[in-house]
Amino acid sequence: MIEGCRIAMWSGPRNISTAMMYSFENRNDCCAIDEPFYAHYLEQTGVEHPGAQKVIDNYETDYHKITQVLSGESPEESEIWYQKHMCHHIPLGADLDWIKNVTNCFLIRDPREVLLSLSKITHEVSLWATGLPQQLMLLERALQDDTKPPILDSRDILENPREMLGMLCHELDIQFSESMLTWEAGPRDCDGIWGEYWYESVWSSTGFSPYSPRTGKLSSSLESVLEDAMPLYLELHSKRIRL
């Protein structure tokens, strides 16, 4: 295993990103950090999220200070440091040189399902809000360092959690652990304080739920977003690790 393995998992919204964080944090050799750029994103954009000011007041908002921490020593001297990131928290034009200090991975989801889910909780839905343009931007930067970051589709994980997590661990050169498949219900120490607003469903979980397709009809404006998002998703999807 790479000494001081820092795993940066880049996800879009309404994915299984929190369940993935729980999966890794449940290992004995791993600690996790939850969306370290969230306070920066809230302060810079002014987007009205539940508890936004509380998040800004309690977490670091300086982008460069955050990147220095993420590039540094793992908390609690853990062998593995799992960093859960939302791609849309990274500002356009941000310095991405720091990502060479982490092992980058990408978590994707069919944008139709993302849009159906996201539109239930916010009216601020756009191509940028899906995280797909940012994922490609981050992937392009990661590839400059002669690495091939693992890309995982959430559907593949939900349909075959043991096999897909095993493949991911192989890619990361770490041992798979059965403890990654189940966890106790309820909040976890790694949760950000925003968990009370966003994590109700994952708090009731004890593992990865079986895949269930999200159905529904998109508005004409969201169909337009989907039309732009799908080629980006398919480009990432074609590069994903698979059974």
Q: Which CATH number do you get for residue 215?
A: 3.40.50.300
Q: Domain limits at 162?
A: 5-237
CA dist 170 and 166 (Å) reads 6
Q: What pLDDT is attached to residue 4?
A: 62
- Evaluate whether 62 touches 70 at the Cβ level (below 8 Å): no
Question: In terms of Cα–Cα distance, which of 86, 135, 91 is closest to 233?
Answer: 135
Q: Is residue 9 part of a domain?
A: yes
What is the tens place of the pLDDT at every residue in 64-101? 999 999 999 988 889 999 999 999 999 888 999 999 99
Amino acid identity of residue 3, one-letter, is E
Q: Who's near 175: CB < 8 A, 6+ residues apart?
A: 1, 169
Region of poorest pLDDT, from 13-27, 78-92, 111-125, 148-162: 111-125
Q: ∠ CA 63-68-69 to the nearest 5 degrees?
A: 100
Query: Is the model more confident about 198 or about 30?
Result: 30
DSSP class of residue 74 equals P
Q: Is residue 242 part of a domain?
A: no
Q: Is residue 243 part of a domain?
A: no
- Across the beta sheet with 30-34, the strand order is 30-34, 80-86, 5-11, 103-108, 151-153
- What are the structure tokens assigned to 13, written together? 């919204």
Q: Is residue 29 part of a domain?
A: yes
pLDDT at 125 over 80: yes
Question: In terms of Cα–Cα distance, which of 149, 145, 148 is closest to 100?
Answer: 145
What is the tens place of the pLDDT at every residue in 32-42? 999 999 999 99
- Per the structure, how many domains does the chain have? 1
What global pTM score does this model have? 0.94
Q: What pLDDT is attached to residue 1?
A: 37
- What are the structure tokens assigned to 160, written together? 């075959």
